[in-house]
């Protein structure tokens, strides 16, 4: 193996390859990046147990003197290429033992691993893929992924559920205390239902950073392959049946209160400064509870009481209300803050029912986005 390439092109690809690189691995070979250079192209591969990434570089700056394969220590390789500021780098395999990296007057020798030990990774492309603009996929991830469970008690809830049915793609995430759902019209496709691990989606979001063209999605039984630019990004799917969440979202609401989103967000963030923290070590239960009250005259108050520090109270003037009588609901301020941030709308609506029943947030401009939060009993 002996080739030269523009450092910037190499780094750009390594930044995507980094998404599949495990911090640690029970299989040491997977801490490496597989390089495979042919007469005209460079393939790079990384993989942890969940995600595998391959990039294919066919840049005009790539000059191959001798094709070959190797596996280099991943983090060190990326760190070096990142820190170098030469225009070009040259990579040469020496004695099948060392990768020599030359950049200007710098020389770096990395002990390589045997490419024969690197597991064979199948990137599964099936017929009839789904093509979506990258921006849509990034929006789906941003609007749902935060609501997945972080605890492994119910592993299926650590993923975002994607379901295609009758031209509609529905993405759902829930940690059993709240639920995010967004629906996309995607035209004619064969139906499927899969659940994607939240960590894979976090990495996909980073991999798609700066990319705004179309993305091709291949769905198989236990894998999702995402193809964009010169990248193949594959993730395993979660096993098991995703709970049916379709009946959780009420069909209509007796109470609707509309707010300027930023005003509500600011008030909730301020009030939650004083809300008591639950000391439990289970992150999912670590909430800070605040209270929303609608008075008879339709003024709204967001408030909290913290026995050890004090009280906070913010009055808000809704942009519109549809309320029968005075109501009070209590809920986690973090859930409301995260839900509100997922909206692009200037005006959002809180849609509530009487009693301790889930309430739903919708936005005037975010069609098909629903954020549901389970209130807590206020005694």
Applying CB under 8 A, the span of 98-106, 185-193, 195-203, 249-257 interacting with its own copies comes to 98-106
The neighbouring-strand residues paired with 252 are: none
Q: Which residues pair with 347 in a beta bridge?
A: 260
The tokens for 177 are: 């205390």
107 binds its own copies (CB under 8 A): yes
| Interacting residue with its own copies among 14, 42, 290, 312 (CB under 8 A) | 312
Residues 6+ apart with CB under 8 A from 234: 51, 52, 53, 121, 123, 124, 223, 224, 225, 226
Residue 85 beta carbon to its own copies: minimum distance, rounded to whole angstroms: 7
Question: In whole angstroms, what is the distance from residue 70 CA to residue 83 CA?
Answer: 22
Mind giving me the DSSP string for 85-117?
--SEEEEEEETTTEEEEEETTEEEEEE-B-GGG
99 vs 374, which CB is nearer to its own copies? 99
3 state SS of 328 = strand
Per-residue mark of binding to its own copies, 230-269 (x: CB under 8 A): ------------------------------------xx-x
Map the footprint of its own copies across residues 63-82, applying CB under 8 A.
73, 76, 79-80
CA pair distance 10, 84, nearest whole angstrom? 11
- Residue closer to its own copies, measured from CB, 208 or 268: 268
Nearer to its own copies, 147 or 312 (CB): 312
The count of residues interacting with its own copies (CB under 8 A) is: 32
Instruction: Report how far apart, in Å, the C-alpha atoms of 203 and of each of 16, 21, 154, 206 are.
Output: 9, 10, 22, 5
* 114 counts as binding its own copies under rule CB under 8 A: no
Task: Indicate which single residue of 149, 316, 329, 352 sits in contact with its own copies (rule: CB under 8 A).
Answer: 316
Number of H helices, E strands in the chain: 6, 26
Tokens of 349: 């609506």
- Give the binding range for its own copies (CB under 8 A) out of 16-24, 102-110, 287-295, 352-360: 102-110
Instruction: For 225-248, give the DSSP string.
Output: EEEETTEEEEEE---SPPP--TTT
CA atoms within a 13 Å half-sphere pointing along the CA-CB vector of 233: 27
Among 27, 29, 64, 98, binds its own copies (CB under 8 A): 98
> Which residues ranging from 270 to 299 are in contact with its own copies (CB under 8 A)?
270-271, 273-274
310 binds its own copies (CB under 8 A): yes
Confirm if 131 and 143 have CB atoms less than 8 A apart.
no
> Is 169 among the residues that bind its own copies (CB under 8 A)?
no
Nearer of residues 33 and 372 to its own copies, judged by Cβ: 33
Give least dist CB 251 to its own copies, A: 34
CB of 267 to its own copies, least distance (A): 7
| Binding stretches for its own copies (CB under 8 A) | 73, 76, 79-80, 83-85, 98, 105-111, 266-267, 269-271, 273-274, 308-317
């Amino acid at each position: 193996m002996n080739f030269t390439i523009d450092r910037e092109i190499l780094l750009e690809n390594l930044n995507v390859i980094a998404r599949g690189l495990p911090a640690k691995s029970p299989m040491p070979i997977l801490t490496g990046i597989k390089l495979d250079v042919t007469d005209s192209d460079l393939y790079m591969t990384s993989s942890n147990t969940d995600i595998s990434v391959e990039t294919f570089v066919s840049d005009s700056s790539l000059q191959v003197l001798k094709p070959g394969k190797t596996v280099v220590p991943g983090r060190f390789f990326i760190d070096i290429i990142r820190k170098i500021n030469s225009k070009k780098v040259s990579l040469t395999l020496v004695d099948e033992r060392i990768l020599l990296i030359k950049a200007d007057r710098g020389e770096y020798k990395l002990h390589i691993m045997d490419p024969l030990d690197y597991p064979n990774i199948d990137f599964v492309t099936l017929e009839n893929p789904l093509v979506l603009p990258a921006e849509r996929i990034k929006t789906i991830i941003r609007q749902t992924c935060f609501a997945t469970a972080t605890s492994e008690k119910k592993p299926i809830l650590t993923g975002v559920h994607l379901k295609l049915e009758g031209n509609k793609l529905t993405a759902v995430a829930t940690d059993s205390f709240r639920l995010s759902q967004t629906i996309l019209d995607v035209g004619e496709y064969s139906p499927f239902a899969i659940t994607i691990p939240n960590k894979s989606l976090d990495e996909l979001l980073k991999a798609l950073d700066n990319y705004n063209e179309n993305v091709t999605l291949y769905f198989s039984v236990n894998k999702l392959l995402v193809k964009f630019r010169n990248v193949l990004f594959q993730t395993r799917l979660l096993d098991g049946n995703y709970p049916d969440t379709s009946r959780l979202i009420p069909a209509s609401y007796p109470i609707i209160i509309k707010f300027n989103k930023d005003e509500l967000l600011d008030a909730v963030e301020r009030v939650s400064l004083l809300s008591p923290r639950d000391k439990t070590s289970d992150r999912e239960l670590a909430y800070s509870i605040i209270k929303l009250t609608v008075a008879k005259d339709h003024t709204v108050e967001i408030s909290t009481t913290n026995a050890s520090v004090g009280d906070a109270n913010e009055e808000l003037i809704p942009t519109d209300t549809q309320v029968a009588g005075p109501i009070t609901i209590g809920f986690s301020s973090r859930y409301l803050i995260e839900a509100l941030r997922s909206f692009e709308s200037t005006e959002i609506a809180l849609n509530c029912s009487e009693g301790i029943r889930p309430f739903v947030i919708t936005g005037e401009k975010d069609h098909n986005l629903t954020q549901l939060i389970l209130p807590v009993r206020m005694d």
